[in-house]
Structure formats: C-alpha cells, structure tokens
Amino acid sequence: MTPVPKEDNKKDTKKFGTKKILIVAYYFPPLGGGGVPRPLKFCKYLPEFGWQPIVLTPKNGVGPVYDQTLLDELNSYKNVKVYRTLSFELGAIKKLVKLRISSLINYIKKFLGLKAQTISQSDDTKNRQSVNSSIRQSENLSIRQFINYIYNLLFEIQKFICIPDDKILWALPSIFSALRIIKKEKPDLIFATIPPYSNFVLAVLLKKLTGLNLIVDYRDPWNIPDTKKNILNFQLEKWCLKNTDKLVYAFPTIKEWLDKQFDINHIKTKLIYNGYDEDDYKNIEPIKFDKWTMIAGGDLYEADNIYFFKLLEDFLFEYPEIKKNFQIVICSNYKKWFEDYLKTSPIKENIINLGILPKKEYLRYVKGADYACIFTYANYKNDFLIQLHGRIFDYLFLEKNIFVVGSENSTLFRFLTENSIEFEFVEKSNFRKFKEKLFTIYKRNYILNTKKIDKENFSRRNLSLAIINFLGK
C-alpha cells in the first residue's frame, strides 16, 4: 500500500473551521515564476475564512526558477499542510540525479583536497598535469555534448508522447498517494490550478474515485479556438470539463473561449483576477540605476518577438545621444533565441539580461526603474494574444508608468482600458510611432495622470474571500 507522503510542516489547525480544500498545484514553492503566487496566496488567506489548504505538489518539480523567499513565506503560514510526491518526468529525474551527483562530487573533492595539500609537485609535473588536464577537459566536453544530445532527444520524445504535458509523469504516479492523503485529511473538495493541465487530469481522476466536488482554476487556456487542435488534448479537456463542478478563470477571455468550444452550461463559473499582496511590497529598496532604465519582465516566448529588439535598435541608432544613457532590464526565463541574439546584437550594451529573479529581488528592479514595458506577441493568432501578464499587477501597485507594444485586440489592452488605467501604447507594426512614442517617454519622463486602480478589488486577500463565497454557493 502506498504510504502517505510526509507533510512539510505540521501545524495546529484546530482553531479553524472543519472545512478543508485539497489544492493540486504542480507549480508551488520552492519553485518560482508566474504560476506560483496564485495558489500560494490562496493558501495564505483561505485559513482566515475557515478553510484549511492541503496542498499536493511535486517533491522534485521543475520550474523556471528556484525561489527560497517564496519557500520561506510558505513556511511562515500557520495552517497549511503540504504533501510532496515524486515526479518521473525527465527534467525532474535529471534534477534528482544532479543533486545526488553534486553531493557525491563535493564529498570526493573535499576528501581529495585534504590529501592534495600534503603532496609537493615539481614544475615539470605541474606542466604535464596541465597538458593532461586539457586533454581530459576536451574528452569531458565531448562526453557532455553526447549526453546533452541524448537528453534533448529523449526530452523531445517525452513532449511528443505525453498528453496533455510532461507533468502527467507526476500526476498519474501520484494518484495512490493522493488517495491516501484524502483518506487521512478528509477534504471537502478538490481545487486544481492549471497549467500544467495534468493537474486537471489528476483532479478529475480523484473526483471520480472519491466523489468529491471539483473546482478548476484556469490561469491560462488549454486548447485555443480557431487553431489547429491536437485532437487528444481537445477530447481530454472536454472530458475534464464534463466532470467539473465549478470553474474559476483569471481573465474574461478564457471563459469566452471555453464557451466557444465546449458545453459548460452545467458548470458554475467565476472571474477571479490575479492581483497583489501588499506584504510583498514592504521594505523593498529600489535598485539605483546610473542610466535611464526601462524594465520588462515575464516570458519572452518565441523568436518572433525579436521584433521588439529590432525596433529598439532602430530607435537607439537614430538617437545616439539617448543610446549612451538608455538601458532595458529583461527579467525573463531563458530562451535560446534571445541568448543568440545578444551575442551579436548591436545594442547588447543597452540590454541587461537578468533571467528570472526571486520575487523580492525582481521587485527591487521594478521599483527602481523609470518605466515599465510590456511587449506583446508577434503572432496574434495564438494564445499569447489572450494572456494577462501577472506582472501588470506589480506595475500597478508600485504605480509605474507602462509602455505597451502589441495589439489593441489583446487581453492586456482590454484590461487596462476597462479599468481606466492610463498607459502609453503603440502597435508593434508601427515603426515610426514606436520611435516617436519612446522618444517622448524618454525626453519628458513625465508621470501619467493615471487613475489609481482600486487596490482592494485586486488584493489577494479579497480575491481569496471571493473564492470562498463562490465555493459556498
């Protein structure tokens, strides 16, 4: 019989109500990135309203960044139980193996280092070792390249065969452990936050095996209407929705697109935006820049988005005096196309590529920047058109001026205009307008007369309360 995984930290929950909610969340601390704050903040505030979160998440999950600050925050919560199970996806297995190998190598290095200190070597011996070391390094490089080739090949095979995504190699093996957790904790319902969409599959299987009600939280869409569909993915989402009791979505377009593709009239639905937690912004010291600085965070996505940097090249070479005092900070996950671009970019000295940062560190850069920028995506027929970037709420809370390059058809544009938020905008295809707009922003560096958004509407606490009210209906 599969044992119940040990929860991270046992905490006193007797003083709270008897209701419990099992949250299925692959992306959860210590993983960081855009998908983590939403379930994390629900866990923070749900106990205030009489619900105890019981979280099922991977022990060795793979994400864009490891964020110790989020794990510290999670550990500070008094009434959350977290159960972690093994994932067998390729990246997760690689992570486990690397940790074990790293520990072994460190032990061996420490042991050999102690011995090496007692050995005296002649210069001739050192020279011979240097040559031998170069040969070994060359051999090691070849071995590493071969291993990486095999790994990448296996990774592509895994992507091809795993439906709906490779996280199914965590979801399916976790079923028996999840049933044991349910038997022990006796939750009142199951809450699955997606993506990854394997969370949804696992939650539906648990619902069918236990009879518990299921609420699914769509942070992003699964299948996109009017695009070439993977028929297996489409049918799988249809089956999952058929077995769903209630549905929460992070921005309106998700619901509109679900209505277009599926019969979801039997499902009660509720719009719950992402938002901000005021505690995240306390004691944030801004980075002090020595140049005029624009910041862009989030995902760079596909190589088509090089358009933004090409526009920036034209602008900076047209205004060389601005080029000397201008920089853009990119806080995004690794993309090979962007790394390759930076190697030969004529404006690489104007681009600071920091990768994805821990939340608190990222906010320091946002707070210190002169302007925030969001460039939406080149291919407006795909799902990127409908994403509402979570970082927009950081910009709004910190009252940053926002420069949007993209499409008036985007969900982001719709959200900003419907909430009467003033921002600078230019269509991505309008080269001339882009230069004019950025020149004006830089030269004037003015503060927009932005209508301050009602922060209460987007506070994580109030959004958690909205979830609770929805569950009670």
- 336 and 410 both lie in a single domain: yes
The per-residue pLDDT for range 420-459, each reduced to its tens digit, is 888 888 887 788 898 888 998 888 755 544 445 666 788 9
- 424 and 327 both lie in a single domain: yes
The per-residue pLDDT for range 336-369, each reduced to its tens digit, is 888 899 999 999 999 999 988 888 899 999 999 9
pLDDT at 330 over 70: yes
pLDDT of residue 106: 65
Domain ends where: 237, 272, 307?
272
pLDDT of residue 291: 94
pLDDT of residue 45: 94
Domain containing residue 141: 95-161
- 352 and 204 both lie in a single domain: no
Q: How confident is the model at residue 410 (pLDDT cuts 50, 70, 90)?
A: confident
Report the number of distinct structural domains present in the chain. Answer: 3
Mean of pLDDT values over 259-271: 93
pLDDT at 79 over 80: yes
Q: Which of 67-71, 98-102, 302-306 has the lowest mean pLDDT?
A: 98-102
pLDDT of residue 236: 94
Domain ends where: 161, 177, 201?
161
In this structure, the strands spanning 213-218 and 246-249 are parallel
Domain presence at residue 253: yes
Domain presence at residue 467: no
DSSP 270: E
Domain presence at residue 143: yes
- 174 and 156 both lie in a single domain: no
pLDDT at 12 over 70: no
The per-residue pLDDT for range 102-160, each reduced to its tens digit, is 666 666 666 666 443 333 333 433 333 443 444 444 555 667 666 676 767 766 777 77
- 152 and 174 both lie in a single domain: no
In the chain, pLDDT over 70 holds for what percent of residues?
77
pLDDT of residue 135: 40
- Candidates 425, 422, 452; CA nearest to 440 is 425
| Residue 422 token pair | 């003033």
pLDDT of residue 250: 92
- 218 and 310 both lie in a single domain: no
- 54 and 172 both lie in a single domain: yes
pLDDT at 327 over 70: yes
pLDDT at 5 over 70: no
| Residue 393 token pair | 């709420």
pLDDT at 70 over 80: yes
In the chain, pLDDT over 90 holds for what percent of residues?
46
Q: How confident is the model at residue 202 (pLDDT cuts 50, 70, 90)?
A: very high
Domain presence at residue 466: no
Give backbone dihedrals phi and psi of 103, rounded to 5 degrees, phi first: -65, -40
- 41 and 113 both lie in a single domain: no
In three-state secondary structure terms, 61 is: coil
Domain presence at residue 196: yes
Mean of pLDDT values over 194-220: 96
Q: Contact at 8 Å (CB) between 446 and 457?
A: no
pLDDT of residue 453: 60
Domain presence at residue 131: yes
pLDDT of residue 109: 62
- 234 and 383 both lie in a single domain: no
pLDDT of residue 379: 46
Tell which wins on pLDDT, 90 or 292: 292
Cα angle value 279/281/285 (rounded, 5°) = 135
Q: How confident is the model at residue 219 (pLDDT cuts 50, 70, 90)?
A: very high
- 192 and 310 both lie in a single domain: no
Element (H, E) at 185: helix 175-185
Strand partners, 269: 247
Q: Which of 77-81, 190-194, 445-449 has the lowest mean pLDDT?
A: 445-449
| Contact partners, residue 302, CB within 8 Å, separation at least 6 | 337, 377, 378, 379
Query: Which pTM was predicted?
Result: 0.81
pLDDT at 196 over 90: yes
Domain presence at residue 461: no
The per-residue pLDDT for range 372-382, each reduced to its tens digit, is 998 865 444 44
Which stretches within 275-330 are classed as H helix?
306-318, 320-323
Element (H, E) at 426: strand 424-427
Question: What is the residue-averaged pLDDT of the chain?
Answer: 82
The Cα–Cα gap between 123 and 271 comes to 72
Prior bond of 196 cis (ω within 30°): yes
Domain presence at residue 5: no
pLDDT at 6 over 80: no
Q: Residue 386 sits in a domain of what CATH number?
A: 3.40.50.2000
- 254 and 389 both lie in a single domain: no
pLDDT at 465 over 80: yes
- 320 and 434 both lie in a single domain: yes
Tell which wins on pLDDT, 391 or 451: 391
Tell me the C-alpha to C-alpha distance, in Å, between residue 467 and each of 32, 39, 43, 99, 247: 23, 12, 12, 38, 10
Q: Contact at 8 Å (CB) between 241 and 206?
A: no
pLDDT of residue 134: 44
Which stretches within 211-305 are classed as H helix?
231-242, 252-261
Q: How confident is the model at residue 67 (pLDDT cuts 50, 70, 90)?
A: confident
